[in-house]
A and B are shown apart, each in its own frame.
Chain A
Amino acid sequence: MDVFLQVLANGVMLGGLFAIVSVGLTLIFGIVKVVNFAHGEFLMVGMYLTYLAVSGLGLHPFAAVILVVPVLFLLGALTQRFLIQPLLAAGDHHIQIFATVGLSTVLINLALLVFGADIANTPPSGLRQPLQIGPVRVLLGQVVILGTAILLVAGLQTFLARTRTGRAIRAVAQNRAAAELMGIDVNRIYALTFGIGAACVGVAAVLIAPLYPTSPNSGTYFVLIAFVVVVLGGLGSIRGAFVGAILIGLIDSVTGFYVGADMREVAVFGVFLAILILKPSGLFGRQLRLSHVSP
Chain B
Amino acid sequence: MRVLARALAAALALGAAAPTTARAADVKFGALFPFSGQLALLGEESARGVEIAVDEINAAGGVQGQKVVLARGDAVDNNQAIGEARRLISLERVVAIFGSYSSARSIAASQVAELSGLPYFELGAVAEEVTGRGLQYLYRTNPTAEDMAKLAVEMIVNKVAAGLGKKPGDLKIGIIYEDSSYGTSVAGFQKKFAAQAKLNVVTAQGYPAATVDMSSLVLDLKGRGIDVLLQTSYQNDSVLFLQQANEAGFKPGAIIGGGGGYSMQPTADAVGHTVIEGVLDTDFTQYLVNTQYTPGLESFVAAYQKKYGGAPRSGHSLNNYVGAKLILQAIDKAKGFEPDTIVKAAKGIDVKDGVTAVGYGFKFGKNNQNERAAMMGMQWQGGKLVTVYPDSAAVAPMQTRQ
Taking Cβ atoms with an 8 Å cutoff, the residues of A that contact B are 3, 6-7, 10, 13-14, 17, 109, 112, 116-119, 121, 128, 130, 137, 139, 212-213, 215, 217-218, 220-222, 225, 252-257, 260-262, 264-265
* Residues B38 and A217 in contact, CB atoms below 8 Å apart: yes
B269 lies within 8 A of chain A by Cβ: yes
* Residues A253 and B247 in contact, CB atoms below 8 Å apart: no
Q: B residues within 8 A CB of A17? A: 212-213
B288 lies within 8 A of chain A by Cβ: no
Nearest residue (CB) in B for A128 is B247
* Residues A14 and B213 in contact, CB atoms below 8 Å apart: yes
A257 to chain B: closest CB distance in Å?
A: 4
Q: A residues within 8 A CB of B216? A: 7, 10, 252-257, 261, 264
* Residues B206 and A121 in contact, CB atoms below 8 Å apart: no
Nearest residue (CB) in A for B215 is A10
B40 lies within 8 A of chain A by Cβ: yes
Give the CA-CA distance A92 to B400 in the complex, in Å.
63
Q: A residues within 8 A CB of B266? A: 118-119, 121
* Residues B210 and A221 in contact, CB atoms below 8 Å apart: yes
Nearest residue (CB) in A for B265 is A118
Q: A residues within 8 A CB of B247? A: 128, 130, 137, 139
Q: Can you pick out 23 interface pairs between chain A and chain B where the beta carbons lie within 8 Å of each other?
A: A3-B219, A7-B216, A14-B212, A112-B36, A112-B40, A117-B41, A117-B44, A119-B266, A119-B267, A128-B247, A139-B247, A213-B236, A217-B38, A222-B212, A225-B212, A260-B205, A261-B205, A261-B207, A261-B217, A261-B220, A262-B206, A262-B207, A264-B208
Q: B residues within 8 A CB of A256? A: 215-217, 220
Contact for A3 among B217, B223, B235, CB less than 8 A: B223
Q: B residues within 8 A CB of A119? A: 235-236, 239, 266-267, 270
* Residues A264 and B207 in contact, CB atoms below 8 Å apart: yes
Main secondary structure of the interface of A (DSSP, over half): helix
Interface residue tally of chain B, by bracket?
Answer: 35 or more
* Residues B212 and A213 in contact, CB atoms below 8 Å apart: no
B349 lies within 8 A of chain A by Cβ: no
Q: B residues within 8 A CB of A10? A: 213, 215-216, 219
A200 to chain B: closest CB distance in Å?
A: 18
Q: A residues within 8 A CB of B179? A: 262
* Residues A215 and B235 in contact, CB atoms below 8 Å apart: yes
Given contacts A17-B212, A119-B235, A221-B212, contact A137 B248 (CB under 8 A): yes
Give the CA-CA distance A14 to B213 in the complex, in Å.
8
A143 to chain B: closest CB distance in Å?
A: 13
* Residues B235 and A213 in contact, CB atoms below 8 Å apart: yes
* Residues A109 and B219 in contact, CB atoms below 8 Å apart: no
Q: Mark B11-28, 1 if CB is under 8 A from A, else 0.
A: 000000000000000000
Q: A residues within 8 A CB of B40? A: 112, 117
B384 lies within 8 A of chain A by Cβ: no
